[in-house]
């Protein structure tokens, strides 16, 4: 959702995590999936789940209306540099 970066900033302030870094990760993942990975699939779901220790997972889903198919992608913060 378009509200996700703002929500991540608020959550970061509330629990002491780097909300700016979370919001940046959210935007970058959405950009990669919409521009590079989706290949004709328009994103309509973007969920960002963050743990108490700052690890996160993003779940995104896109739809190809012509093919009437959906794709789902999961991104994990672990192992990213």
- Residue 65 structural domain: 4-76
Instruction: Evaluate if residue 1 carries a pLDDT over 80.
Output: no
Q: Tell me: the pLDDT tens digits for 16-65? A: 999 999 999 999 998 888 787 757 888 899 999 999 999 999 999 999 99
Residue 57, both tokens: 């997972």
Look at residue 52 and tell me if it is in a domain.
yes
Instruction: Report yes or no on 11 lying in a domain.
Output: yes
DSSP for 16-50? TS-HHHHHHHHHHHHHHIIIIISSSPEEEEEEEEE
Q: Structural domain tally of the chain?
A: 1
Q: Is residue 59 part of a domain?
A: yes
Q: Considering the domain boundaries, does residue 14 fall inside one?
A: yes
pLDDT value at residue 68: 95
Q: Is residue 81 situated within a structural domain?
A: no
């Amino acid at each position: 959702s378009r509200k996700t970066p703002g929500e991540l900033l608020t959550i970061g302030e509330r629990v002491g995590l780097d909300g700016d870094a979370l919001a940046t990760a959210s935007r970058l993942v959405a950009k990669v999936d919409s521009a590079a990975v989706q290949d004709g699939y328009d994103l309509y779901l973007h969920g960002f789940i963050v743990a108490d220790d700052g690890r996160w997972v993003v779940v995104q889903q896109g739809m190809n209306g012509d093919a009437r198919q959906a794709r789902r992608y999961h991104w994990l913060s672990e192992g990213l540099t």
